[in-house]
Structure 1
């Protein structure tokens, strides 16, 4: 007796699922990023922004933002950058820099309090990835002693002041040598973008509704520097910086992605901050 086309189709689907299971491949995979939060990880004023754009804007000050990004993937939590240290929040006038041209940082909200407000404990975060090892990006790494640190080997091995290590050697770490598909499904990809520092990296996040976003770290510090491909005099390598800017531009075009520049406060003021989120 012939089976109906509907029953036959169900049998074929079931058979394919069994074959996939026997081969060790998932029969159905729909992992994705569920939410992306922007956390306020510092605010400051730079005394002279020509420090970041040589020969341009000499003597002009500018407000800077410092963002962290909390990502809820179907599998786990991930934090991108940790901002300036939370202890700055207790200083009435923030933390003044030794160089008056640099950024005078303040911490209106602590990272710890923002995570608590979202019901996220430090132990819930599986991965902490940092764009690079400057203090305004790694200030709170040790708030997450159990989280796997994702950092480029070139950055991890780069000596700090007096040849001191830039990270706690006891902290669990995965030293990357290039790009990294964090969750194995293409939804969150670390991009190697050296130049600002030896192992600087950026992050491509693909959201189901918002679309693709590149979190550029300090590949550029504000939009006019990005538009004009200006390289700060403090950068580790000018040619690498320019090559990384071009690489990010290529990714933006390919993925039809937005560019979120970490320190660009004018842009940050147009975006939703936690507890709101992007999905």
Structure 2
């Protein structure tokens, strides 16, 4: 029969074991929404052909910083921080596109929550348009997750889209980043050859699906409208259906990167979702 002392030691060991398991529990702990740009689209008809022709709309540009038990993961990097110092912002060559400003730098928002760029060990970008990769090289040591089709897609003047020295993991489809189902990259091509979206599983908020540019605002997603500049209409529609199927299966929220009306209802860093 166990003595009281033995019982006490056993109970203490069980508590310590439970705390150790809890400390090692895999998964996402919190998600921060970062303001990575604000702008005005000159003509949103380019994103919804035949609808809203000539209509202007406010856009936002959003990045997401995710604290995982294995380290910090950044999704998209927004407009370059250097735009914050431009009094008139970054005007597009095409007046129908988006004129961007940077009211807050990504660097300042990271500093506000005590995160250094070197703390970010892994990152992904939805695609390689400039408003999503503007600060990739702020994190030169972070492993970049990108679809091979996107990585190999020639940039302007056939230049590579990333510095060859940047550590990268090239994907050919979906990817469970940490192997625990908490952060999953979803291949959603169509907007660009290797466009991807992100599914994040949070303890309380549950599942959120981050759109990238699979849809630019809610009306386009609801009506399956494909922007004129997308590389493939068929792939775009198939990717929106994949997103819809995932949302239904996971009972997920759908967070659309550029949709200002939606982002105005959300908590921005330093507040977070857990």
Instruction: Give the TM-score, by structure 2 length.
Output: 0.92
User: In the alignment, which of 170, 176, 182 is matched to residue 187 of structure 1?
Assistant: 182
Cα deviation, residue 70, structure 1: 0.2
What is aligned with 1:115?
A: 110
- Runs of at least 4 residues off by over 4 Å: none
Question: Could you say which residue in structure 1 is the equivalent of 2:4?
Answer: none
1:129 counterpart residue number = 124
Query: Does structure 1 conserve the Cα–Cα contact (< 8 Å) formed by 2:24 and 2:69?
Result: no
For residues 1-279 of structure 1, the aligned pairs below 5 Å read 30-279=25-274
Instruction: Give the distance between the partners of 1:159 and 1:95, measured in 2 at CA.
Output: 23
SS at match of 2:200: strand
- Kept in 1, the 8 Å contact 2:61–2:257? The answer is yes
Shift of 1:124: 0.4
Aligned residue pairs, count: 263
Deviations 1:201-255 (A, max 9, x none): 0000000100100001000000000010000000010000000000000000000
Q: TM-score, normalised by structure 1?
A: 0.90
1:42-83 alpha-carbon deviations (Å, 9 max, x no partner): 000000000100111011000001000000001100000000
SS in 1 for 2:246: helix
- The Cα offsets for residues 169-204 of structure 1, whole Å up to 9 and x where unpaired, read as 111110011111011100000000000000000000
Equivalent-residue separation in structure 2 for 1:75 and 1:149 (angstroms): 16
Runs (5+) with no aligned partner, structure 2: 2-6
Residue 226 of structure 1 aligns to a residue whose secondary structure is helix
